[in-house]
Amino acid sequence: MKKIDRKFGKKLEVDAKLDINGHVFTLPVIEGTQGERGLDISKLYAETGYVTIDQGFANTAACYSDISYIDGKKGILNYRGIPIEELAEKHSFVEVAYLLVHGQLPNQKKLKKWSGFLTEHSLLHEDMRHFFDGFPRGAHPMHILSTMINALSTFYPNVDQRSLKADINETSTRLISIVRTLAAFAYKRSVGEPIVYPKHDLSYGANFLHMMFDSPVKPYKIDQDIVDVLNMLLVIHADHEQNCSTTAVRVIGSAQVNLYSTIAAGVNALSGPLHGGANQAVMKMLRKINKDGGNVDKYVAKAKDKNDPFRLMGFGHRVYKTYDPRAKIMKAACHKLLKKLNIKDPLLDTAMKLEEVALNDEYFKARNLFPNVDFYSGIIYRAIGIPENMFTVMFALGRLPGWIAQWREMVETKNTKIARPRQIYTGVPCKRSEGSAE
């Protein structure tokens, strides 16, 4: 595989000084292309014997990356320099997947080839179909999905980092396409219906809806408006710099783990309710509020009560300290879709009330807590017939090109090291081993 000597930010003339008991150490200051600055501590331990402590990595840049950019204060998200609003409006998920993996939007010829690969790789190895029979009814599709992605490594054992030199197009499209098939099969399994195979003449999104909802006794009619909404949802989930699941992918991948097992780790990380699992948790919360008489104030008060573990799901973000730009797109799309489908969803009314009360509340204002990507997405999924336990799977489908792009960037970068943080030991003081010096 060709290793790339990527530029690691710009070293500024100014240095930072760290004074430890009168010993002064110089820390280089690095600047990224958007002017964000960081202190390079890569030699700190070797030179001082000290480590840094940063639980949750809130102050740590774990890598240099060219893929996506967030300005959390201004509410900006770009993939490869292109604003998310533009991508969501004008580009297909298939194009955006190419953009993330390759760094540029494809021309017609490249798009045709990439789409052709996606169609070619959409079938699952027939032997894997029987795996679905082993899961208990009611198993969560996210768990089925991660298990099945892991199992792909046994069917395609050569798809590891070394195979990158073969063809990244093949590696990426097989994953992007098969995971869509796996997701739909997992759903069919959960509802006890026969699986539906992909069709060669349907677009990426239409094919997914076909595999999810077509049945021998009730054919599914593809509605282009729904395909468009699905496309937008996948695009806005496609990457989000160093979030928890992407970090999981980079950490696992740094040990040169097989790509499929690496991506399975990303899916597992995403399933947590503080991360992608929040989209399902939001619906549970909205339903609970409605069942409880729709008293939004009561739940806002609960979220503020430090003795109550309840949090407003779909609110708050590590990086955004303003309205999440994805939530803005989502909210507008949600209203448009429900109007088009003539749906009156009481959960949307509750979500809007909740947002209004929270945004005017001092607690939420002081902490800059705004709706995030997961707040409105569930209402859209619900409107297009996606069941709640599939919401996080939808997030995973969208995030896949981002994980692959981040993994590719990591493995192709010269000097990538295995991720191996340090710790400050606070356990039982160690016994001195025999023969150790006084």
- Region of 141-149, 150-158, 274-282, 284-292 interacting with ligand CMC (CB under 6 A): 274-282
Beta bridge partners of 187: none
User: Is 305 among the catalytic positions?
Assistant: no
Which residue, 117 or 381, is less far from ligand CMC as judged by CB? 381
Beta carbon of residue 68, minimum distance to ligand CMC (angstroms, whole number): 13
User: Within 10 Å of residue 203's Cβ, how many Cβ atoms?
Assistant: 20
Q: Does 113 bind ligand CMC (CB under 6 A)?
A: no
Distance (Å, whole) CA 232 – CA 303: 31
Beta bridge partners of 69: 78
Beta carbon of residue 402, minimum distance to ligand CMC (angstroms, whole number): 12
Tokens linked to 51: 């480590």
Could you give phi then psi for residue 105, rounded to 5 degrees? -70, 145
Q: Which of 67, 212, 312, 396 binds ligand CMC (CB under 6 A)?
A: 312
State the helix-helix crossing angle for 224-236 and 325-340, rounded to 10 degrees. 170
Could you give phi then psi for residue 345, rounded to 5 degrees? -105, 115
Distance (Å, whole) CA 116 – CA 243: 31
Strand-by-strand arrangement of the 76-79 sheet? 68-71, 76-79, 82-83
Which residue, 124 or 400, is less far from ligand CMC as judged by CB? 400
Distance of CA 194 to the CA centre of its chain: 29
Residue 336 amino acid letter: K
Q: Which of 9, 141, 314, 378 binds ligand CMC (CB under 6 A)?
A: 314
Which residue, 1 or 274, is less far from ligand CMC as judged by CB? 274
- Region of 22-30, 261-269, 270-278, 413-421 interacting with ligand CMC (CB under 6 A): 270-278
- Region of 22-30, 102-110, 196-204, 272-280 interacting with ligand CMC (CB under 6 A): 272-280
Distance (Å, whole) CA 108 – CA 91: 13
Distance (Å, whole) CA 375 – CA 333: 13
Beta carbon of residue 316, minimum distance to ligand CMC (angstroms, whole number): 2
Q: Which of 91, 180, 317, 328 binds ligand CMC (CB under 6 A)?
A: 317
DSSP helix/strand/coil, 285:
helix
Instruction: Show the 3-state SS of 206-273.
Output: HHHHHHHHCECCECCCCCHHHHHHHHHHHHHCCCCCCCHHHHHHHHHHCCCCCHHHHHHHHHHHHCCC
Distance (Å, whole) CA 294 – CA 347: 10
Residue 158 DSSP code: T
Q: Does 313 bind ligand CMC (CB under 6 A)?
A: yes
Beta carbon of residue 315, minimum distance to ligand CMC (angstroms, whole number): 4
Which residue, 223 or 388, is less far from ligand CMC as judged by CB? 388
- Asked whether the beta carbons of 386 and 212 are under 8 A apart, the reply is yes
Beta carbon of residue 47, minimum distance to ligand CMC (angstroms, whole number): 31
- Region of 138-146, 176-184, 203-211, 316-324 interacting with ligand CMC (CB under 6 A): 316-324
- Please report, for residues 140, 294, 417, the alpha-carbon distance to residue 248 in angstroms, rounded to integers and kept in the order given: 21, 38, 15
Task: Determine the size of the site formed for ligand CMC (CB under 6 A).
Answer: 20
Which residue, 37 or 318, is less far from ligand CMC as judged by CB? 318
| 52-81 positions binding ligand CMC, by CB under 6 A | 56
Of the candidates 317, 324, 345, 349, the residue annotated as catalytic is 317
Beta carbon of residue 242, minimum distance to ligand CMC (angstroms, whole number): 11
User: Is 240 among the catalytic positions?
Assistant: no
Q: Does 326 bind ligand CMC (CB under 6 A)?
A: no
Beta carbon of residue 281, minimum distance to ligand CMC (angstroms, whole number): 7
DSSP helix/strand/coil, 23:
strand
Tokens linked to 81: 């320099």
Q: Kindly write out the interface string for residues 138-177 of this chain, putting x where it contacts ligand CMC by CB under 6 A and - elsewhere.
A: ----------------------------------------
Q: Which of 287, 318, 321, 335 binds ligand CMC (CB under 6 A)?
A: 318
Q: Which of 278, 329, 394, 411 binds ligand CMC (CB under 6 A)?
A: 278
| 282-311 positions binding ligand CMC, by CB under 6 A | 303, 311
DSSP helix/strand/coil, 20:
strand
| 358-397 positions binding ligand CMC, by CB under 6 A | 367, 369, 372-374
- Please report, for residues 102, 115, 346, the alpha-carbon distance to residue 338 in angstroms, rounded to integers and kept in the order given: 35, 30, 11
Which residue, 163 or 368, is less far from ligand CMC as judged by CB? 368
Beta carbon of residue 274, minimum distance to ligand CMC (angstroms, whole number): 4
Q: Which of 102, 275, 287, 335 binds ligand CMC (CB under 6 A)?
A: 275
Residues designated catalytic: 317, 374
Residues that bind ligand CMC (CB under 6 A): 56, 243, 274-276, 278, 303, 311-318, 367, 369, 372-374
